[in-house]
C-alpha cells in the first residue's frame, strides 16, 4: 500500500487520544482524521460550519463523506451572517494577525469549536497542518525555484506557523489533538521526496501522498476533491469581507499612503481591528516585505500579516 506510513502515524496519534469532535470540511485532511477518530470513538462528532442561506462546498462534500464513513453524529452548524461578522474582532485578537485569509479560517474554526464546547465536549481535532507539510498552498504550487529551495521553504514554514486550532481550543478550555503537527507525522511526510509530495496525477492536483494513502478508506469524491482553503470552502470569507465596504475610498488611500500598501479594503478593515487591540510597529530595515513589521526569528512567515516571503519577495495565498 502506497504511503502506508502516513496512515499508521496518524492512527497512532488518534488511538492514544481519540477526540470527541473533528472540525470536518469533507476534504482529504479532516476526512482522514475523522476516519481514525470514528474507528476509536464511534460517537465522535463531525462538525461542519456553514453560513445560513448558503450551501457551501464544505457542506456538500462533508455530507457525502459522512454518509460513506457511516458517521452518525455529523452536525452541520449554520450561522447567520451577522453572527459571523460579530465574531471577527475576537478572531483577530486570538490570532494576533490581520491577514484576511487566516482571520477567515480562524473564524470558521472558532465557530466550530464553540459549537463543540456548547455541546459539552472536551476535546477536538482537525486536519490543520497538512496543507503546509504537503505544499498545497498556491504559493508553493506556483514555486519558481528548484525543488531543494521549495523543500527548505516548506520546512521553514512548518517550523514557524501558529497552530490556529490549538490556540482557539485553549481559548475555550478545550483540548486540541493535532495529528498533522505531531512530530512523528511531520517527519513521516517530510521524509517523502519533494517531487512526490508535489506530484500531480489525473484528478489529483495536490497532496498526492495523503490522497493515495487513503484510497481504500475514503470515498473517491474525497480523494479527488479539488483543493479549497479553510477560508473559502465554508463560505465564511465571502461573508466577512464585506466589512471592507465600510471603508471610504479616501480613508483607504490615506492608509495605503501613510502606513503601507494594503491588498484591499478588507485587509485594511482587519488592520484597524488589530490596532484597536495590539500595538503595530514597523522596522526600517529587514521587516516584512508587505506590512513592514518585524520578522523576529521567522525566515519565511510574517507573524503579523502572515505574508509568505523568500528572498525579500512576498506572495499571498
Mean pLDDT of 297-306: 91
Give exposure, 75-91, as e/b (b: 16+ Cβ within 10 Å): bbbebebeebeebbebb
Q: Tell me the three cell numbers of residue 176.
A: 486540541
Please report the pLDDT score of residue 145 as a whole number. Answer: 87
What's the pLDDT band for 26 if we cut at 50, 70, 90? Answer: very high
Mean pLDDT of 184-194: 97
Residue located via cell numbers 500579516: 305
Please report the pLDDT score of residue 267 as a whole number. Answer: 98
What's the pLDDT band for 1 if we cut at 50, 70, 90? Answer: low
Cβ atoms 315, 309 nearer than 8 A: yes
Within 10 angstroms of residue 311's Cβ, the number of other Cβ atoms is 7
Q: Which of 184, 189, 188, 197 is nearest to 15 (CA)?
A: 184
What's the pLDDT band for 314 if we cut at 50, 70, 90? Answer: low
Element of type H or E holding 176 = strand 175-177
Q: Is the pTM value of this prediction over 0.85?
A: yes
Please report the pLDDT score of residue 288 as a whole number. Answer: 94
Q: Tell me the three cell numbers of residue 215.
A: 484510497
Strand 123-125 and strand 175-177: the pairing is parallel
DSSP code, position 179: G
Average of per-residue pLDDT values in the chain = 93
pLDDT tens, residue by residue, 131-188: 999 999 888 998 988 999 999 999 999 999 888 899 999 999 999 999 999 999 999 9
In this structure, the chain runs to a length of 317
Q: Bridge-partner residues for 195, per DSSP?
A: none
Q: Which of 104, 121, 130, 127 is nearest to 26 (CA)?
A: 127
Tell me the CA distances in angstroms from 210 to 89, 131, 145, one per residue in order: 34, 10, 24
Q: Which of 300, 1, 15 is nearest to 158 (CA)?
A: 300
Q: Which of 234, 210, 198, 203 is nearest to 26 (CA)?
A: 234
Domains of the chain: 4-238 (3.40.50.620), 247-315 (no CATH)
Mean pLDDT lowest for which of 93-102, 103-112, 158-167, 184-193?
158-167
pLDDT tens, residue by residue, 201-234: 999 999 999 999 999 999 999 999 998 876 677 8
Amino acid at each position: 500500500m502506497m504511503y502506508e506510513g502516513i496512515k499508521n502515524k496518524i492512527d497512532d496519534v488518534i488511538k492514544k487520544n481519540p477526540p470527541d469532535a473533528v472540525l470536518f470540511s469533507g476534504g482529504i485532511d479532516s476526512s482522514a482524521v475523522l476516519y481514525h477518530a470514528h474507528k476509536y470513538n464511534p460517537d465522535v462528532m463531525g462538525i461542519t460550519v456553514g453560513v445560513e442561506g448558503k450551501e457551501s462546498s464544505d457542506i456538500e462534500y462533508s455530507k457525502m463523506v459522512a454518509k460513506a464513513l457511516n458517521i452518525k453524529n455529523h452536525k452541520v452548524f449554520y450561522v447567520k451572517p451577522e453572527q459571523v461578522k460579530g465574531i471577527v474582532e475576537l478572531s483577530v485578537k486570538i490570532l494576533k494577525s490581520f491577514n484576511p485569509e487566516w482571520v477567515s479560517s480562524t473564524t470558521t474554526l472558532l465557530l466550530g469549536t464553540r459549537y463543540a464546547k456548547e455541546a459539552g465536549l472536551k476535546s477536538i481535532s482537525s486536519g490543520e497542518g497538512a496543507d503546509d507539510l504537503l505544499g498545497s498552498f498556491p504559493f508553493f504550487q506556483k514555486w519558481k525555484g528548484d525543488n531543494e529551495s521549495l523543500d527548505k521553504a516548506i520546512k521553514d514554514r512548518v517550523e514557524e506557523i501558529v497552530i490556529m486550532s490549538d490556540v482557539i481550543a485553549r481559548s475555550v478550555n478545550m483540548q486540541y489533538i493535532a495529528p498533522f503537527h505531531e512530530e512523528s507525522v511531520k517527519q513521516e511526510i517530510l521524509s517523502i521526496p519533494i517531487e512526490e509530495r508535489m506530484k500531480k496525477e489525473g484528478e489529483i492536483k495536490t497532496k498526492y501522498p495523503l490522497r493515495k494513502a487513503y484510497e481504500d478508506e475514503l470515498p473517491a469524491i474525497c480523494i479527488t476533491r479539488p483543493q479549497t482553503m479553510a477560508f473559502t470552502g465554508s463560505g465564511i470569507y465571502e461573508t466577512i469581507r464585506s466589512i471592507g465596504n465600510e471603508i471610504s475610498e479616501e480613508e483607504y488611500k490615506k492608509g495605503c499612503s501613510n502606513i503601507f500598501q494594503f491588498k484591499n479594503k478588507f485587509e485594511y478593515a482587519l488592520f484597524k481591528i488589530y490596532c484597536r487591540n495590539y500595538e503595530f510597529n514597523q522596522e526600517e530595515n529587514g521587516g516584512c516585505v508587505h506590512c513592514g513589521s518585524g520578522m523576529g526569528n521567522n525566515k519565511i512567515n510574517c507573524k503579523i500579516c502572515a505574508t509568505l516571503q523568500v528572498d525579500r519577495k512576498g506572495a499571498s495565498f
